[in-house]
A = this chain, B = another copy of it.
């Protein structure tokens, strides 16, 4: 045996597949076939059992990264997350998606983008060599980012947001639908001068902007004389809402779409405390259909957002991974339906 000078003896505290092979009395290839469930190779049941027992005894688990290095691809679906907490609707949707992807043998990994955007974000994600990426709009991925990901081996790049990005499949989340639905409802209830609550909190602009755009577009399209939209900045705190409520009568508005149910509840309470009758003097509608909106008096009207099934999206991801050369597809993800209660 030749000693290599100036080299530390390898630490063997972490068991390897070679250790398993030795203990089970089989080849490393056999260990790999058994533990990676390679269906193509036939291994007898007793051998299979021996390998599993040896792995358990040594505490060996396969290395996902090593396996994907050998195979030249991974089964990792990367879902970058933004810092904005998800509501119950999106939480449920992403849970369903993760379950469905795991049943198709993908490993779903969420990755905090931490303020990285564009190509920087794409490079950070690419280091993990995902086979598919579902990038939220907050990442501002851009066409160059898509290229970076594809060059690193990603077979499917999806963007989730209001706009298409060149080269990527688009899962369109068009927030304008929400504002459009609210506008049509308020107009139908006879309101002409409509307010649009715009959250002052940083980061929410990305979500509130399309909703207000949709509201404006639907009001314009209705061609109703005297109809208008006024933006109302509001911070998510009682003082801000009290200030807006105090100015309400001077604004001359008849109805308000309040971004979401939480802002709607905040504003409605402030209006009531100011002695402004809801819905008579101010029709209020939120969005998201939170259960808590039903507990208020009057009960809060809302725009319910509808998402497709996570299972369908998982199947789409899998189809694109298998056919990475296909033309980018566009899928409409977001539906919006008014739930009319008592506040409007």
Interface residues of chain A, those whose CB is within 8 Å of chain B, are 11, 13-15, 58-66, 68-69, 72, 81, 83, 85-88, 91-92, 95, 98-99, 102, 107-112, 114, 123-124, 126-129, 147-148, 151-153, 236-238, 262, 265-266, 269, 291-292, 294-295
Complex Cα distance A15/B98, Å? Answer: 30
Residues from chain B with a CB closer than 8 A to the CB of A295 are 238, 265-266, 269
Q: Which of B14, B62, B63 contacts A151 (CB 8 A)?
A: B14
* Chain B residues whose CB sits within 8 angstroms of the CB of A238 once the complex forms: 291, 294-295
A65 touches B112 (CB 8 A): no
With the chains together, A314 CA to B254 CA distance in Å?
A: 50
With a CB–CB cut-off of 8 A, which chain B residues contact A151?
13-15, 58-60
Smallest Cβ-Cβ distance to A99: which chain B residue: B114
CA distance A127 to B64 in the complex (A): 5
Whether A292 and B294, one on each chain, are in contact in the complex, defined by CB atoms closer than 8 angstroms, is: no
Q: How far is the CB of A339 from chain B (nearest CB, A)?
A: 14
Q: Which of the residues B60, B63, B83, B269 comes within 8 Å of A129, measured between beta carbons? A: B63
Q: Which of B58, B87, B109 contacts A110 (CB 8 A)?
A: B109
Sample of 8 further A-B pairs with CB below 8 A, known A64-B65, A65-B65: A59-B148, A61-B152, A63-B129, A95-B112, A98-B114, A108-B112, A238-B294, A292-B292
Contact A236–B14 (Cβ < 8 Å): no
The listed residue (B61, B98, B111) touching A148 by CB distance below 8 A is B61
Smallest beta-carbon distance A122→chain B, Å: 8
Given the known interface contacts A236-B291, A292-B292, the answer about A128 and B64 at a Cβ–Cβ threshold of 8 Å is yes
Please, how many angstroms separate the alpha-carbon atoms of A92 and B99 in the complex?
25
Specify which chain B residues have a CB less than 8 angstroms from the CB of A92 in the assembled complex: 85
Please pick, from B13, B61, B109, B291, the residue contacting A111 in the complex, using a CB distance under 8 A.
B109
> Smallest CB-CB separation from A297: which chain B residue?
B269
Query: Whose C-beta in chain B lies nearest to the C-beta of A293?
Result: B292
Q: Whole-angstrom distance between the alpha carbons of A152 and B17 in the complex?
A: 12
B294 touches A265 (CB 8 A): no
Chain B residues with CB under 8 A of A88: 85
A61 and B95 within 8 A (CB): no
Q: Which residues of B contact A98 (CB under 8 A)?
A: 112, 114
Cross-chain pairs A/B with CB under 8 angstroms, 13 sampled: A13-B151, A59-B147, A59-B148, A61-B123, A61-B126, A63-B129, A64-B65, A64-B128, A65-B129, A85-B88, A99-B114, A102-B112, A262-B291
Q: Which residues of B are found within 8 Å of A83, using beta-carbon distances?
A: 95
Which residues of chain B have C-beta atoms less than 8 A from A266's C-beta? 291-292, 295
Closest 3 CB pairs of A and B: A65-B65, A59-B151, A110-B110
Name A63's closest neighbour in chain B (CB-CB).
Answer: B129
* Nearest Cβ on chain B to A69's Cβ, whole angstroms: 6
The docked-state distance in angstroms from the alpha carbon of A32 to that of B68 is: 20
Cα–Cα, bound, A64→B111 (Å): 14
Cβ-defined partner of A81 (8 Å) among B68, B110, B152, B294: B110
Q: Whose C-beta in chain B lies nearest to the C-beta of A122?
A: B61
Instruction: Contact check, A152 vs B86: say whether CB atoms are below 8 A apart.
Output: no
Q: Which residues of B contact A292 (CB under 8 A)?
A: 262, 265-266, 292
Question: In the complex, what distance in Å separates the CA atom of A294 from the CA atom of B65?
Answer: 49
- Residue numbers in B under 8 Å from A294 (CB-CB): 238
Residues of B within 8 A of A14 (CB): 151-153
